[in-house]
Amino acid sequence: MDQLQRQPRVGHVTLAFPGYYLGEEKAPAKHAEMLAYLQRLGLDVVPATDIVLDRASATRAGRELAAANVDCICANLATFVPDHYLVDLLAACDVPVFLWAIEREIDCLSLVGGMLINPTLYELGKRYQLYGADIGDTETGEKLMIFARACMARRSLAEMRVGYMGGNPDIMFSMAADEYGLKKTFGVSVIPLRDADYLARQAAVRQERAEADWAAIKVSVGKVQASDRDGIAASAGFIGVQSLARELGLDAISMNCWPHQKAKICLPIARLNDEGVGAGCEGDLHSTILMRLLYVMSGRAPINGDFLRMYLDANTIMFSHCGAGSFSMARNSSEIVLMESIETHDGLAVFFPADQPGTVTALNLMGSRAGYRLAAMVGEVAPTDMSYMGTPMRLRFSKPVKDILQGAVQCGAGHHWSLGYGDFSRELGLLCDWLGVQYRLLSSH
């Protein structure tokens, strides 16, 4: 359970073809120059020890990068390079590869090598991109960053362990989950759990520990309008499910609160998301996966909300759920109110307007092994109020929101949306292309 934000881990390897006066003697300097550039981009760079000059050194470099568990490889073509070098490199480290043909001296023929390699990787079904530019080219650097973040997202999904507690609600047929489909398409491992697992952990928490935790929570928010009994129970629930997640190595956990738990688990879910453990309510396994993915990509806790209301005059959409928002999404902790559920009049829900300014990506995942669909929209956070008691976030778009709704209808999107700060639309589009997932950017004109 990795709760720390990380940058994409990129293997850095430079390749050249010796013996034909192509400029292979310049490869070490280009290797060092590219390494410095990649580090300035903020990537977690793992450089290969040696320049790849033949098939044997390609295999050694691949093994070295595989041992470093890289998300992808940036393969820098310093000269024309035989395609066998790339085949052997990827045989030892089978991750997506970004081919950067260094366009500097024309007689190095690096782009010629790139175009030689292109059909070979295509025929072998590898995930790759090819660009030709000099070191430091801004546009190519941006393309590399998108590629690397998509690779990080792919690895995050492939390694993700998600607890699935209580299944999906009996009033929400569309949220049925296909564990085989999730494993086959995304690599996600689903760990089945029972409500009894949560209740047993909650009951095992010492009373004095839960009381101390609740006392600390009360002074960290603006207002509490709930009983100490419910607050202590929520603290015990958080401590219990936190220990369960750590013991099972969970990156995320989906909890079905309908109908018996409802606001009794709102505070634990909010706090888990603040810790980086993706947590979703109402048994929405897909939303839970997206909550963890957005945390990995942004380094910030996301929030979950229903597609709740359109405001045509302001061209905004309100997303809100009934009260499980991460504390860190509030503009100020003094705005956070803890009170009983507006739906069940018990438990303890989290209320505040989620209106920190910035760009937000909203995601909805639907489908099964027959085919998955990821709908996305990117908007700017607009000021909101508490006309709906929950954790409302309003997003403003340049595209008419009525058209966004119709786009959502046409691609079969659902009512639960996961929202995280940052624009990851291009990374997600690339990821979906690799995974064979239908992708629709609803906010695009």
Instruction: Give a yes or no: residue 325 inside a domain.
Output: yes
Q: In this structure, are 241 and 206 located in the same domain?
A: yes
Instruction: Give a yes or no: residue 121 inside a domain.
Output: yes
Domain containing residue 138: CATH number: 3.40.50.10940
As a whole number of angstroms, the distance between CA 122 and CA 442 comes to 30
Q: In this structure, are 226 and 302 located in the same domain?
A: yes
Q: In this structure, are 149 and 175 located in the same domain?
A: no
Q: Are strands 161-165 and 189-193 parallel, antiparallel or unpaired?
A: parallel
Assigned token pair, 407: 């786009």
**Could you tell me the residue range of the domain that residue 393 belongs to?**
160-441
Q: Which residues pair with 133 in a beta bridge?
A: 102
Q: Euclidean distance between the first and final Cα of the chain, in Å?
A: 38
Q: In this structure, are 68 and 165 located in the same domain?
A: no
Query: What average pLDDT values come out for the chain (445 residues) when binned by 10 residues?
Result: 68 97 97 98 97 98 98 98 98 98 96 98 98 98 98 98 89 89 97 93 97 98 94 96 97 86 87 96 94 96 96 98 91 94 80 97 96 98 93 97 98 97 98 98 96
* Residue 3 confidence (pLDDT): 42
Of the candidates 110, 145, 152, the one whose C-alpha atom is nearest the C-alpha of residue 299 is 152
* Residue 340 confidence (pLDDT): 84
Q: In this structure, are 430 and 347 located in the same domain?
A: yes
* Residue 1 confidence (pLDDT): 42
Assigned token pair, 243: 């220990």
3-state secondary structure the chain: CCCCCCCCEEEEEEECCCCCCCCHHHHHHHHHHHHHHHHHCCCEEEECCCCECCHHHHHHHHHHHHHCCCCEEEEEECCCCCHHHHHHHHHHCCCCEEEEEECCCHHHCHHHHHHHHHHHHHHCCCCEEEEEECCCCHHHHHHHHHHHHHHHHHHHHHHCEEEEECCCCCCCHHHCCCHHHHHHHHCCEEEEECHHHHHHHHHHCCHHHHHHHHHHHHCCCCEEECCHHHHHHHHHHHHHHHHHHHHHCCCEEEECCCCCCHHHHHHHHHHHHHHCCEEECCCCHHHHHHHHHHHHHHCCCCEEEEEEEEECCCCEEEEECCCECCHHHCCCHHHCEEECCCCCCCCCEEECCCCCCCEEEEEEEEEECCEEEEEEEEEEEECCCCCCCCCCEEEECCCCHHHHHHHHHHCCCCCEEEEEECCCHHHHHHHHHHHCCEEEECCCC
Q: For the chain, what is the domain count?
A: 2
* Residue 301 confidence (pLDDT): 96
Domain containing residue 372: CATH number: 3.20.14
Instruction: Give a yes or no: residue 4 inside a domain.
Output: no
* Residue 2 confidence (pLDDT): 43
Instruction: Give a yes or no: residue 3 inside a domain.
Output: no
pTM (global) more than 0.85:
yes
Q: In this structure, are 81 and 226 located in the same domain?
A: no
Q: In this structure, are 282 and 148 located in the same domain?
A: no
Which one of 143, 158, 173 terminates a domain? 158
Instruction: Give a yes or no: residue 72 inside a domain.
Output: yes
Which one of 140, 158, 176 terminates a domain? 158
* Residue 4 confidence (pLDDT): 47
Q: In this structure, are 130 and 176 located in the same domain?
A: no
Instruction: Give a yes or no: residue 1 inside a domain.
Output: no
As a whole number of angstroms, the distance between CA 187 and CA 428 comes to 16
Dump pLDDT digits (tens) for 15-67: 999 999 999 999 999 999 999 999 999 999 999 999 999 999 999 999 999 99
Q: In this structure, are 363 and 274 located in the same domain?
A: yes
Q: In this structure, are 113 and 151 located in the same domain?
A: yes
Q: In this structure, are 317 and 418 located in the same domain?
A: yes
Which one of 158, 176, 191 terminates a domain? 158
Q: In this structure, are 327 and 421 located in the same domain?
A: yes
Angle at the Cα of 309 from the Cα atoms of 411 and 414, rounded to 5 degrees: 30
